[in-house]
Amino acid sequence: MQLTLLKKGICVKGNNNTIYSNNIKYSTIYSVYIDGERNKIYKNTGNNKNKGYGVYMNKASKSNIIYGNRFNGFYYGVLDSGKQNIIQSNHLTYNKAGIYLSSTAKYSKVNKNNVYKNTNYGVYNKATKTIIYKNKISSNKKYGLITVKSANLNKNSIKKNKINLRHI
């Protein structure tokens, strides 16, 4: 494992690592960057000034668990470009987008997150074969959830957004 803490934040290049209970403030690019598989990112806090990423999972990331974190004030609270990642029980506020799944993020699960008061989107999903369930998505200034039609949406609470749900 290579673990680096810089102004960029924590960079994980490797497999089977755990990043637990860190407080990362004003990182210029990301709080946590993942290039690997089966990593666990638990109970971390990141704060920024509307730039960068709370968690950035690149295209090579696979089967990572992002759980119980708080990311506020980023461009993206969590960005997933990998495969089979789990984004669960996070609090994502005051970002431009709380959670963003790129078109390369396949088979990811987004569940039980609190995504609120983001300036553009609560959850923006361009990925296919994703499961989005039991999230609380509210009070986002523009959209609550934007998603491809093929996503499996189940038991989400989407309310008090300018537009609650839009399919693309």
CATH of the domain at 88: 2.160.20.10
Q: What is the share, in percent, of the chain residues with pLDDT greater than 70?
A: 96
Cβ burial 34-70 (10 Å sphere, 16+ → b, else e): bbbbebebeebbbbbeeebbbbbbbeebbbbbbbbbb
- Mean pLDDT value across residues 63-84: 97
CB 61 within 8 A of CB 85: yes
* Model pLDDT, residue 26: 74
Strands 9-13 and 2-6: antiparallel
- Mean pLDDT value across residues 129-145: 98
Residue numbers of the domain that contains 91: 2-167
Structure tokens at 141: 């200034």
pTM: 0.94
* Model pLDDT, residue 4: 44
Number of domains the chain contains: 1
Longest distance between any two alpha carbons in the chain, whole Å: 43
* Model pLDDT, residue 1: 41
Average pLDDT of the chain is 93
pLDDT over 80 at 72, yes or no: yes
Within 8 A by CB and 6+ apart from 6, the residues are none
Read off the pLDDT band of 48 (50, 70, 90). Answer: confident
